[in-house]
A and B are shown apart, each in its own frame.
Chain A
Amino acid sequence: AQSVAQPEDQVNVAEGNPLTVKCTYSVSGNPYLFWYVQYPNRGLQFLLKYITGDNLVKGSYGFEAEFNKSQTSFHLKKPSALVSDSALYFCAVRDDRNTPLVFGKGTRLSVIA
């Protein structure tokens, strides 16, 4: 069975600084990896995904993520954080057997002006 770990419940970063939200995964077979963002009282919005190919994936709002197979990680990054990036971020994985997404517990990002 697949699983996702987001080791940090909370990440604080100053506006303008780079941010990283960590994610590690466990899956049998090829992983399909996703990042979602959730703003207060809203549903989850898709940010980016890794399916195959280039290990660095670019997504919405200037976010990117790097797939590292040897470390089974898929960390979310942004070069310069904005206050408006403050939200709850979820990493998710599915395997190659057409199963639903399995989500991590989420990391709350707080960007301080």
Chain B
Amino acid sequence: DAGVIQSPRHEVTEMGQEVTLRCKPISGHNSLFWYRQTMMRGLELLIYFNNNVPIDDSGMPEDRFSAKMPNASFSTLKIQPSEPRDSAVYFCASSPLGRTMNTEAFFGQGTRLTVV
């Protein structure tokens, strides 16, 4: 298996522009997580899905952030409009549901977002 695949790996955009980050989870995994990593705050959970359904989005910082999972093999995280303080590394992770409690999450390589 290729693992969790994220695209793009790097994104540089201007303030005010829309940014879309993409994630393909590991086949057969039906829990998907979006995390954000910054120096100041470490790894923060933004939102997670079980069976394509958003379970908890309380970590989404503002209404500018939205996430979707239209099917079991694809998820997007969108920021509109983007701001410089959104600059961070965004990680997608997946794990199997059902054994979630004792199963580790598998992480993608991350998307490094820079908003100028």
Contact = CB atoms under 8 A, between A and B. Distances in A.
Interface string A64-107: 00000000000000000000000000100010101011111110
Given A32-B101, A49-B104, A43 B43 contact: no
A101 B107 CA distance: 12
Given A43-B4, A51-B102, 12 more contacts: A36-B107, A44-B107, A46-B106, A49-B102, A51-B101, A98-B101, A100-B45, A100-B56, A100-B105, A104-B42, A105-B42, A106-B42
Contacts of A104: 42
13 contacts: A32-B102, A36-B107, A43-B110, A45-B107, A46-B106, A51-B101, A96-B101, A100-B33, A100-B105, A101-B105, A102-B45, A103-B43, A104-B42
Interface of B: 4, 31, 33, 35, 42-43, 45, 48, 56, 91, 93, 100-102, 104-110, 112
B106 A98 contact: no
A25 interface: no
Interface residues of A, number: 22
Contacts of A98: 100-101
Contacts of B56: 100
A42 to B, nearest CB: 6
A100 B104 CA distance: 10
A101 B102 CA distance: 11
A106 B106 contact: no
B105 A43 contact: no
Contact of A42 (B42, B48, B106, B109): B109
